[in-house]
Amino acid sequence: MDLEETREKRPPVTPMMIEEEAALRNGSRGLPPGSWAEAAGPRPRTTERHIAVHKRLVLGFAVSILALLAVTMIAVLLSVRFEECSAAADGPPRGSGNGSLPGAARQPSGAGQPPGRPEQEEENEARGGEVAEEEEEEEWQRRRELPPWTRPRLPQHLRPLHYNLMLSAFMENFTFSGEVNVQLEVLNASRYIVLHAHRMHIEAVRVAEDKLAGGVRVDRSFFYPQTQVFVVVLNRSLEVQKSYNLKIIYNALIENELLGFFRSSYVLHGERRFLGVTQFSPTHARKAFPCFDEPIYKATFKISIRHQATYLSLSNMPVETSVFEEDGWVTDHFSQTPLMSTYYLAWAVCNFTYRETVTKSGVVVRLYARPDAIRRGSGDYALNITRRLIEFYEDYFKVPYSLPKLDLLAVPKHPYAAMENWGLSVFVEQRILLDPSISSISYLLDVTMVIVHELCHQWFGDLVTPVWWEDVWLKEGFAHYFEFVGTDYLYPGWNMEKQRFLTDVLHEVMLLDGLASSHPVSQEVQQATDIDRVFDWIAYKKGAALIRMLANFMGHSVFQMGLQDYLTIHKYGNAARNDLWNTLSKALKRVGKSVNIQQVMDQWTLQMGYPVITILGNETTDNVIVISQERFVYDIDAKPKDPALGDSSYLWQIPLTIAVGNTSHISSEAIIWVSNKSEHHKIPALEEASWLLGNINQTGYFRVNYDIRNWRLLINQLTRNHEVISVSNRAGLIDDAFNLARAGYLPQNIPLEIIRYLSEEKDFLPWHAASRALYPLDKLLDRAENYNVFNEYILRQVASMYLKLGWPMNNLNKSLVQASYQHEELRREVIMLACSFGNKHCHQQAATLISDWISSNRNRIPLNVRDIVYCTGVSLMDEDVWEFIWMKFHSITAVSEKKILLEALTCSDDRNLLNRLLNLSLNSEVVLDQDAIDVIIHVARNPHGRDLAWKFFREKWKILNARYGEALFMNSKLISGVTEFLNTEEELRELKNFIKSYEGGAAVSFSRAVETVEANVRWKKLYKEELFQWLRKSLTH
């Protein structure tokens, strides 16, 4: 999901290394002092006639002897010094050629920063290091092997057992120094230690054998930037089954970006305050300390952090002791961690305050945030549900939470919604702080689900970790699935797993996975850039959808029992997908069922895409239907990702649930396992007027198509008595029909005929499914000449329900979580559709509410529709309203309100204001880095701003790529958001030309963007006129 930085600096090397290289070229590390003296001293002549004793000659000889002794002593000192091999890293990322960090001279005593060194010396060192590295690689080439540091994975001859990490954080100049001691176990003999380190300055390296005096001499060390590793070359091989200690002293910057150990800030009482926090997943621990930065290398960690006493420090474990110094500094020593991977290690240095609660099992839960947020109680909701959720997971998994505490840290700036660091989960403020007086139900739901997700990771990810990143879905898929299960525990009446999962996960990921450029949920990971790419919605949402399908065909109680076994067997270790399949198969056997889970699920996890099942009635044989499967793709002309594997080669074992219905009732479901391209099945009680319904409650990860006769029967059923069909299946029929039509499997009128029944639909989910399905269609048409025809048709479907439901009352004094969640969400959905498509009353109501706010300076707009009112008001009213919203965005402190005010600014019809906002979005003092992407995407969704955002994206690509290139999700989200609704031949040409000329990575995201735009252009060419003809005809009747 991101890019790698390609600008690397060659590591400067020390004069000592140059001398070592000269010795290596001579076939040895250097002569011992005695030999050196013998070779370098003047040799006496033994011929008698050449001996002339003279005072001056004797004096000269004595001076020579003294000089010899001095040189010998220097050589001895150098041989000792060789044990410490100084090698500068590829430099501070944006620093000068100087090996020391900026501001080193101003640091307190004990900082351990190196003094600056002459530039010529740096250049000599660099040249020497390059020569040595090239010679080392030539040696490996002669052996016809790749040097271990050039391979994408670390060599497996060493295993870290324990890290002792001591840090000093200098917040006044944003640098830190560190000393890491790694206890290593030798699995295979080697004279090379290869571990990850990136963007740091290494001062010294020592290697010693544990429990024995003396060290192992270091020949030299160097960075290899291509694989972000640091290589220590020893003068002898490490012995198998022995353990050694690797000590590295280093320093680096506390970066002003979003990864590694970075800084953030906030303003309190007019004063800007700073904090430092880490984000290591998936491959950024190496920026904060040298380590074996792969999930398989689990070890224990003992961390100590030295900082000014005005700050506090946090890490995964509780503070064991704190040592205060006279100069106003304090060192916090944290308890040792259990076995864990580097990517969810964490620490923070901040001056936050906290609130605390304790679970039934004694786990201390604290929420740390800005002092003003804690004082307002903005973290109380998150704190209380965290306590309840830990108790829920402990009961569900039958595995206790593994640490004595869990801290939740709310930070102003973070690349993601949250990060599940074990014992120290970090959240961006917008996803954890909540003020009940000004937060909507949808905002509360967002906060809730992010917390549920991160807490699930404390088991799936932290306690049991994927062996390698190809199976990242093993943690992300489970956490995403349990977002809905855990929220159902907190709010049982909301039916999240059975209903909201469909629109928010299943329908959404099927849009992405229906592209020919998709990829399997388990995909091969070889290069570092591949690691970032696997963190996308396929891993999260498809992984969750497959887990849900698995739970349903296994049975939820058996599935739960299997998960309990899986976590118990693999806790504190690593697991791969086959470990999960084997455990679940054994759980099924225990209840007398025999299903080879691996055989079934490998087809779903190792193949990209998903099937469309087509059910056809057999005209010649009674009660027999034909069921066929094929891969669903939106653009049949798109080139497959793997040309050797055409769409016809895809085959799945599909658990198809099916039921028969008529005007008054529906039969109980039956399950048919479909494993062939086409199969015949006999269905009892299939009468003339009966209809078939496949994929009951949409538990399966596939679409279902029918013959036109069956579609007509289903449409009639929805019109006459829609409640015969379940809420989930009503939503599923709407989503399947719109997407089948978009891909050309169905006539364009079928989905529009289905939604005619919505005027009688009282449940939220089908309306939500319709709203989501109409959205991309609306964006394909919103710049068309005949758009008003489509607009009018949608307004007709919405009008009667809009009048029935009306607007919510001002609810400032009511409880945030209302009992009528479904009703309020339905009302919100209908108001959003009405205002979006131009209902006059809706527009008048929004304008009235905005005007009242401006005139009274009291915001009486109902919480649950504020975002709709703000956006509608900005789009309809004059520039003064835009300026008013802009002023409120700057003055308000509640993060939930700040977010919707910023997004409202993107709704303007004024292109000058949209351009102004786009340019302001790159100013980090005005718009937070993580929010700038949302600004650009929302402008792109506005038909008045789509071309502006597209132009801005291309002009600012280098800046955007530098800022977000390494952050998971961010670049792919930006590329997709800006391009997904481009739909003209000219825009397609511009996209292709830009891709040819741009610099940077994100090739996969751009490939997906091209396919999406090609599918948009194709749809308009083939189906737009057909759709408008039907709409015109429909509106005249």
The pLDDT > 90 percentage for the chain reads 73
Integer angstrom CA distances of residue 122 from 17, 104, 230, 544: 12, 18, 19, 52
For residue 176, give every residue at least 6 positions away whose Cβ sits within 8 Å of its Cβ, in sequence order, or none. Answer: 167, 168, 169, 170, 251, 252, 253, 254, 261, 276
For residue 472, give every residue at least 6 positions away whose Cβ sits within 8 Å of its Cβ, in sequence order, or none. Answer: 282, 466, 534, 535, 539
Residue type at position 664 = S
Whether pLDDT at 36 is above 90: no
Distance CA 912, CA 155 (A): 56
pLDDT at 622: 78
Q: Residue 649 — very low, low, confident or very high, per pLDDT cuts 50/70/90?
A: confident
pLDDT at 520: 95
User: In DSSP terms, which residues pair with 185 in a beta bridge?
Assistant: 159, 243
Q: In the 3-class helix/strand/coil scheme, how is 399-431 assigned residue by residue?
A: CCCCCCEEEEEEECCCCCCEECCCCEEEEEHHH
Residue that wins the pLDDT comparison between 959 and 546: 546
Whether pLDDT at 19 is above 60: no
Distance CA 408, CA 382 (A): 9
Q: At what angle do helices 727-742 and 708-721 cross, to 10 degrees?
A: 140
pLDDT tens by residue, 592-615: 998 899 999 999 999 999 999 999
State residue 439 phi and psi, 5-degree precision. -115, 135
Residue that wins the pLDDT comparison between 861 and 29: 861
Distance CA 25, CA 222 (A): 17
pLDDT at 76: 43
Whether pLDDT at 692 is above 80: yes
| Cβ count within 10 A of residue 452 | 26
The residue ranges of DSSP E strands in 698-769, in sequence order, are: 703-706
> Which range among 90-104, 325-339, 762-776, 887-901 shows the weakest confidence by mean pLDDT?
90-104
- Transcribe 957-996 into DSSP letters: HHHHHHHHTTSTTHHHHHHHHHHTT--SHHHHHHHHHHHH
Q: Which residue is catalytic, options 122, 420, 454, 497?
A: 454
The pLDDT > 70 percentage for the chain reads 83
What is the average per-residue pLDDT within 719-746?
Answer: 97
Here the tokens at position 627 are: 């069921």
> Which range among 34-43, 138-147, 352-361, 938-947 shows the weakest confidence by mean pLDDT?
34-43
Whether pLDDT at 855 is above 70: yes
Instruction: With H, G, I as helix, E, B as strand and everything else as coil, classify residue 294.
Output: coil
User: In DSSP terms, which residues pair with 319 in a beta bridge?
Assistant: 334
Distance CA 14, CA 555 (A): 65
User: In DSSP terms, which residues pair with 280 in a beta bridge?
Assistant: none
pLDDT at 896: 87
- Transcribe 831-895 into DSSP letters: HHHHHHTT-HHHHHHHHHHHHHHHHHS---S-GGGHHHHHHHHHHHS-HHHHHHHHHHHHH---H
Rg of the chain in Å (alpha carbons): 33
Distance CA 729, CA 14 (A): 70
Q: Residue 437 — very low, low, confident or very high, per pLDDT cuts 50/70/90?
A: confident
Instruction: Check if the beta carbon of residue 364 is closer than 8 Å to that of residue 356.
Output: yes
The residue ranges of DSSP E strands in 645-755, in sequence order, are: 654-661, 670-674, 678-682, 691-694, 703-706
Instruction: Check if the beta carbon of residue 461 is closer than 8 Å to that of residue 523.
Output: no
Q: Which helix (H) or strand (E) holds 268?
A: strand 260-268
pLDDT tens by residue, 811-828: 544 554 544 788 999 999
pLDDT at 966: 67
Distance CA 210, CA 212 (A): 6
pLDDT at 481: 98
User: In DSSP terms, which residues pair with 693 in a beta bridge?
Assistant: 659
Within 273-412, where are the H helices? 371-376, 380-397
pLDDT at 144: 73
Instruction: Check if the beta carbon of residue 438 is closer than 8 Å to that of residue 888.
Output: no
pLDDT at 650: 92
Whether pLDDT at 308 is above 70: yes
Whether pLDDT at 710 is above 70: yes
Distance CA 560, CA 564 (A): 6
From the number of C-beta atoms within 10 Å of its C-beta (0-12, 13-18, 19+), residue 712 rates as middle
What is the average per-residue pLDDT within 985-1009?
Answer: 87
Instruction: With H, G, I as helix, E, B as strand and everything else as coil, classify residue 246.
Output: strand
The residue ranges of DSSP E strands in 171-210, in sequence order, are: 175-186, 190-196, 201-209
pLDDT tens by residue, 927-951: 988 899 999 999 999 999 999 999 9
pLDDT at 639: 61
> Which range among 249-258, 647-656, 895-904 shows the weakest confidence by mean pLDDT?
647-656
pLDDT at 924: 86
Whether pLDDT at 714 is above 60: yes
Distance CA 159, CA 296 (A): 10
What is the average per-residue pLDDT within 903-922?
Answer: 97
Give the mean pLDDT of the chain.
86
Q: Which helix (H) or strand (E) holds 518?
A: none
- Whose CA is closest to 754, among 700, 797, 786? 797
Distance CA 623, CA 387 (A): 54
Instruction: With H, G, I as helix, E, B as strand and everything else as coil, classify residue 652.
Output: coil
pLDDT tens by residue, 76-133: 444 444 344 444 333 333 333 333 343 333 343 333 333 333 334 334 434 445 555 6
Whether pLDDT at 154 is above 70: yes
pLDDT at 121: 36
Angle, vertex CA 929, rays to CA 381 and CA 895, nearest 5: 25
- Whose CA is closest to 781, among 1006, 1023, 513, 975? 1023
Is 524 an annotated catalytic residue? Answer: no
pLDDT at 594: 86
Here the tokens at position 977 are: 């958001």
Q: In the 3-class helix/strand/coil scheme, how is 901-936 assigned residue by residue?
A: HHHHHHHCCCHHHHHHHHHHCCCCCCCCHHHHHHHH
Instruction: With H, G, I as helix, E, B as strand and everything else as coil, classify residue 354.
Output: strand
